[in-house]
Amino acid sequence: MLKRIFFFVLTNIAVMVMFSIILFILSLFGININPQSMGGLLVFAAIFGFLGSFISLLMSKTLAVRSVGAQIIETPRNETEAWLLQTVQKLAMQWQLTAPQVAIYDSPEPNAFATGARKNASLIAVSTGLMNRMTRDEVEGVLGHEMAHIGNGDMVTMTLMQGVVNTFVIFFAQIVARIAAANVREELAGVVFFIANMALQIVFGLLASIVVMWFSRQREYRADQGAAKYVGAPKMIAALQRLKSAHGAENELPESINALGIAGGKDSLMSTHPSLDNRIARLQGLR
């Protein structure tokens, strides 16, 4: 937690420096934004609320592949890889989308994830553990789930939602911090504003994360239902049951892409995934 707060402070300073640079560049073109006004503050909050989210989205595929050392299948080296490509292509046709790239990464944990900035330029990656420990019906259920994430546009939707949340966190933290600074001696106003702004962004950010995590859990349910629609509920249920027995619902992906994996979930306010038990129960209710 202390390390996260330290990096948050550094990020906050970097944001303020970057904003000053952007304001200077805009002024050279005759565009003047006054961050002291409500309208200017909202523009400031929106720029930085969405900027990081969209940069992450645009770089998501490259970063995800590198973070797990995934190998994109260009030409199948064996029958298993050929089957993977064919299955993903079949699912993409059902969604009327261009087939995503398919990659395999080395990990004993059965897991998979989908990422990409556009529906027709996405990627699905599966672990060697998933391929080795699941039947093909179960793997097909997993692929159906990841294809549903792509077809539902979950990556873009989550980016937009995170951008909106970030905007309001920055905006209201600034407003309350300004009120706090206005009620102290002038020589202390700058310090009070800086400390209050950072503290409020942490608090508001945690509260906003509860909303984002709730939405993330709902998208997992929708992806399960999408898989059930196109590959059948029994295959998706079997895949989730296998995940449950394999590692007790733990997700061992790097933290940067942890939310993308199919595994994980503990039914808490800050969990990106529902528990596997609840996901299975939902699917069983569809049959």
Tell me which residues are annotated as active site: 146
In terms of C-beta density within 10 A (0-12 exposed, 13-18 middle, 19 or more buried), how is residue 120 classed?
Answer: exposed
CA distance 177 to 106: 47
Question: Pairing between strand 123-127 and 101-105?
Answer: parallel
Residues ≥6 apart with Cβ < 8 Å to 146: 112, 113, 114, 124, 223, 262
3-state secondary structure of 127: strand
Please give the C-alpha separations between residue 76 and each of 5, 79, 81, 102, 216, in angstroms, as whole numbers. Answer: 45, 7, 5, 10, 33
In terms of C-beta density within 10 A (0-12 exposed, 13-18 middle, 19 or more buried), how is residue 83 classed?
Answer: middle
233-247 vs 136-151: helix crossing angle, rounded to 10: 110
